[in-house]
């Protein structure tokens, strides 16, 4: 089953404007047009509730609320459909404890920056295709 990228909305959470612009450009090349942005985990939580994106791409090292706390809050919320929102970490942080945290809190993927066009597309496809299993 083909994914209709024009129907997907993505929330990009990253404290660096340049990083958000690069991700927006990559998503545009895939065919994703509905991209929302947030500058940190706090703004990301508000934007998540506001736009209800199909998927979230989230950096880890941000203030005041980092990607870890964002994911933990999303997974522990009782707000309908929010706790199951797919979250893929897109970060330069490849530390073992951080990757383990992502697995423990059911992140849907973990991508280490910098990434090429094909990598985010593959991960988004795997998350949105119901027959595919999560691949780390």
pTM given for the model: 0.90
Helix (H) or strand (E) holding 109: strand 109-112
Q: Is 2 left (phi over 0), alpha (psi -120 to 50) or beta?
A: beta
pLDDT of residue 134: 45
Contact 67, 89 (CB under 8 A): yes
Domains of the chain: 8-128 (3.40.50.2300)
What's the mean pLDDT in 35-42?
98
Is the pLDDT at 25 greater than 60? The verdict is yes
Helix (H) or strand (E) holding 90: strand 87-91
Q: What is the mean pLDDT of the chain?
A: 92
Q: How confident is the model at residue 84 (pLDDT cuts 50, 70, 90)?
A: very high
């Amino acid at each position: 089953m083909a994914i209709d990228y024009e129907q997907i909305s993505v929330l990009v959470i990253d404290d660096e404007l340049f990083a958000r612009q690069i991700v927006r450009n990559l998503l545009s090349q895939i065919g994703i047009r509905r991209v929302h942005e947030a500058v940190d985990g706090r703004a990301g939580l508000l934007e998540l509730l506001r736009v209800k994106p199909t998927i979230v791409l989230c950096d880890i090292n941000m203030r005041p609320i980092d990607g870890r706390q964002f994911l933990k809050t999303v997974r522990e919320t009782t707000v309908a459909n929010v706790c199951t929102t797919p979250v893929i970490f897109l970060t330069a942080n490849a530390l073992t404890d951080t990757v383990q945290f992502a697995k423990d809190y059911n992140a849907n993927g973990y991508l280490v920056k910098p990434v090429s066009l094909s990598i985010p597309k593959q991960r988004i496809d795997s998350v949105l295709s119901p027959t595919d299993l999560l691949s780390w």
